[in-house]
Amino acid sequence: MKARVIYNPSAGREQLKRNMIDILQILEEAGYEASAFATTPEPKSAAKEARRAAISGFDLIVAAGGDGTVNEVINGIADLEKRPTVGIIPAGTTNDYARALKIPRASLLDAARVIAAGHEIPMDIGRANQQYFVNIAAGGYLTDLTYEVPTKLKTAFGYLAYLVKGAEKLPNIKPIHMHIEYEGGVYDGKASMFFVAMTNSTGGFEMLDPDIVLGDGKFSLFVVKTANIFEILQIIGSVLNGGKHIGHSQVLYAKTNFVKVESKDNQRIMINLDGEYGGDEPTTFVNLQQHIKIIGNRYDYAEAIDSQAEREAFMDMMDDLQAEKDKTE
């Protein structure tokens, strides 16, 4: 089997470069012929390499870096008929997707060991017009923080850089007339921002949707209908307080397999895809159910599932996937 590690050399205060030999050794010991590719400033460098590796027959592609690196790797392979398994070594600022899959974020080598264990999880992928995302899409005020904060500030100050920038932008929030269509409904009115989520982890928050089920083919749609600073802060507080924002009077919440968004008052809505700029509306988001197998932390992930029945079903699914993998090796 062949594995290609695609890594951002500037992520994680350049820790990836210092640990790359050990990461490759862990993959080699797991039976892979492992090699590495350092991304360059060239646009879509990670996406191009992921596509090349997939077409060349690599069995595993490891996205090593932040959420942006993961997004690029997925965009490089999502439209291919034969898609390799994807592993993740988190080395970014928030690492939301790795957090959702219970992948260790404190140790690059522990994350590599999770990949070596090889427990694959069939994950939904979102398509936004002609682009793809794995964790969350968003639009409106404050959703542009991730690509407005300079890379040097993120490297130096981490998540604190987002908080400082967010506080700076709060007084400028204004409502936008949005037309949003989704499975079973339409919202046409003023709103400050919206979120289309596939996990419950975004921006460092882990309770965006306490009821989310990974791989169920559904987005969690949130529309924040208010532009009042105090109400927005109240909603953020409700997110931190166990996901109680879902019942807030100024939040529209729905489960849906598609979302269509457009501005109705000529105000520009920039679309954020996994923390990267993904163009402007109008945008149609479609959920591609269990489109790519991504390696997660089997045991920690199972512990995060609430009911015993769900846990047993999950473990049975993982055992079946492992059996299928063993047959092909």
Per-residue pLDDT of the chain in tens (329 residues, 90 and over written 9): 999 999 999 887 788 999 999 999 999 999 999 999 999 999 999 999 999 999 999 999 999 999 989 999 999 999 999 999 999 999 987 888 998 899 999 999 999 999 999 999 999 999 999 999 999 999 988 776 555 555 554 444 444 444 445 556 666 778 999 999 999 999 999 999 899 999 988 766 677 788 889 999 999 999 999 988 778 778 877 776 767 788 889 999 999 999 999 999 989 999 999 888 899 999 999 999 999 999 998 755 434 333 344 445 545 554 554 555 456 55
* pLDDT for residue 228: 84
49, 72, 276, 281: the active-site residue: 276
The predicted pLDDT at position 96 comes to 87
Contact 60, 3 (CB under 8 A): yes
Structure tokens belonging to residue 226: 């208010």
Per-residue buried b or exposed e for 94-115, using 16+ beta carbons within 10 Å of the residue's own CB: bbbbbbbbbbbbeebeebbbbb
pLDDT score at 309: 47
Other C-beta atoms closer than 10 Å to the C-beta of 304 total 15
Domains located in the chain, CATH noted: 2-118 (3.40.50.10330), 132-288 (2.60.200.40)
pLDDT value at position 323? 58
Angstrom distance (rounded) from CA 49 to CA 82: 16
Listed in order, strand segments (DSSP E) in the chain are 2-7, 33-38, 60-65, 85-90, 120-128, 131-133, 136-140, 176-182, 185-191, 193-197, 219-224, 251-256, 258-263, 270-273, 276-280, 283-295
Q: What is the tens place of the pLDDT at every residue in 267-309?
A: 999 999 988 889 999 999 999 999 999 999 875 543 433 334 4
Average pLDDT over the chain, rounded to an integer: 85
- The two tokens of residue 79 are 């439209």
Q: What is the pLDDT of residue 152?
A: 52
Q: How far is CA 249 from CA 130, 192, 241, 244, 254, in A?
A: 34, 14, 16, 11, 14
Query: What is the rounded CA–CA span in Å between residue 137 and residue 199?
Result: 11
Q: Which pLDDT value is given to residue 64?
A: 97
Report pLDDT for 307: 39
Output DSSP code: residue 61: E
Whether 276 is catalytic is yes
